[in-house]
Chain A
């Protein structure tokens, strides 16, 4: 019964939207809007063949590498900048400058510098995804409770142990908020990085379909992106539930009081 209920909440709206779509395309023949049936058949045809290995998997691979690298750089950099006062004073104005640059404008520049390579695409993803994680980590590190910090000091928890047992867990709610933003940014940047002068990848394929008026195929590519987003969101939620169990529990207790 409980499973059915969860499933109902999960699929209720999508099923409703598809029904709506189906009924509104009944009889009508709009070249730009395929019927659900056409889309489904095209979906299987287009994505579950060779393309899965030549376009989908490489794109997902670059996305993962980019997002993970951005998280690592953001957390390490954020812990350093957040804990060292002079470093923060030194870097903050420059960081504001770089943060303000929209990553898509970097694509032509990076293309010139690095060529049209996988690393170029990964760098584009990193250049956008690193900011939410970095800035949130800095804030989280700076907001470590002073009493907890004093407690750690008095028990000789310093250096690396301090980072591991105090700073990182304490900043983890903010870090996770940054990671969530990075993941959606990552998907956007993955597509953008493949739109210029590329010859493979999800972004490239979708633009290619659009230019050759393969409209149902184009829509099916957009569906792939949406599903990818849903998948990432599930993975994120699962990770967040495990990492921040204490945080949500504590909030619940505070709210109940």
Chain B
């Protein structure tokens, strides 16, 4: 049965339909992503977690329009993505290589807006707000490389916020910062998400992080990738590093995701994917994994 490629769930902001990506190399074709279908509602914060080499980055490149999928499509607000869409911002893992080293912090944040031809006054306001939101009001005159890794990633986040995207994609953004900075940045993302009501897709390989951050966790199988499981994270909305992480429910969810990742690593694939195509899974049916 073909998935219904024409109809995204009506409230979906981001919709990935039957996405498949095959790389053609000299050594033959490599199927990185087999078949992925999922929807993100407007304002949702979902984490995408999978074993290493599960095609997370490929998927993100297809969603952000940097790479064309072999089959299937990505819809942003109902419109097919064919190139980097205007309503989307991406934060990459390599903060040191995603900011312009020849521009000061403020110019880095401002550039995408300037490039859109936004008037100076409005630009200034958005840049100030964004820098304020990530706690960097003090360093607009510095160059990115004068800042610590965590601060550089804050600049990248500020640039994404100032761009006023409807969808924010984050590709393992905290994988290269130290643990304490990481905790701060995780909380920052929750705050920003709540404040702006933006739809966030957060890719990570860190299981704890996915459960702590997400309202929903999409677990990927190993490559060629399909969706292993899609679960709702029913933790209280107000999260903090100490209390949330010590909740019994957090431990249960973490345990469950961990098990699924282990299964995925051993090559286990969900029953549905054995029939080459998974039926469309609207967001509403994302399973709520009950207490054991």
* Segment at the interface with B among A84-92, A145-153, A204-212: A145-153
Q: Which residues of A contact B163 (CB under 8 A)?
A: 155
Residues of B within 8 A of A165 (CB): 100, 103, 111, 115
User: Contact: A246 with B115, CB < 8 Å?
Assistant: no
Q: How extensive is the interface on chain A, given as a class?
A: 20 to 34
> B99: which A residues are within 8 A, CB to CB?
151
Interface residues of chain B, those whose CB is within 8 Å of chain A, are 61, 64-66, 83-84, 86, 88-90, 92, 94, 97-103, 111-112, 115-116, 143, 145-146, 159, 163
Known: A147-B94, A150-B66, A165-B111. A156 touches B84 (CB 8 A): yes
Please, which residue of chain B has its CB at the minimum distance from the CB of A161?
Answer: B115
> Does A169 interact with chain B (Cβ within 8 Å)?
yes
Contact status of A154 and B97, CB under 8 A, knowing A161-B115, A253-B145: no
Number of residue pairs A-B, CB distance < 8 angstroms? 68
Once the chains are docked, how many angstroms separate the CA of A151 from the CA of B65? 12
Residues of the A chain whose Cβ atoms lie less than 8 Å from the Cβ of B90:
150-151, 154
The answer to whether B64 and A154 have CB atoms under 8 Å apart is yes
A145 touches B100 (CB 8 A): no
Within the assembled complex, what's the spacing in Å between the Cα atoms of A153 and B115? 12
The 9 A-B pairs at the shortest CB distance, nearest first, are namely: A155-B112, A147-B97, A169-B102, A246-B102, A250-B145, A154-B90, A151-B98, A154-B84, A147-B94
Contacts of A147 in B (CB 8 A): 92, 94, 97-98
A249–B86 touching, CB < 8 Å? no
Interface centre among B64, B115, B143 (most CB of A within 10 A): B115
Cβ of B102: which chain A residues have Cβ within 8 Å of it?
169-170, 172, 246-247
Main secondary structure of the interface of B (DSSP, over half): loop
If A156-B86, A157-B115, A169-B102 touch, does A148 touch B143 (CB 8 Å cutoff)? no
Q: Mark A155-179, 1 if CB is under 8 A from B, else 0.
A: 1110001000110011010000000
B-chain residues with CB within 8 Å of residue A150 when the two chains form the complex: 61, 66, 90, 92, 98
Contacts of A156 in B (CB 8 A): 84, 86, 112, 115-116
Known A-B contacts A154-B66, A155-B163; the reply to A148 vs B111 at CB < 8 A is no
Q: How far is the CA of A240 from the CA of B227 in the complex (A)?
A: 52
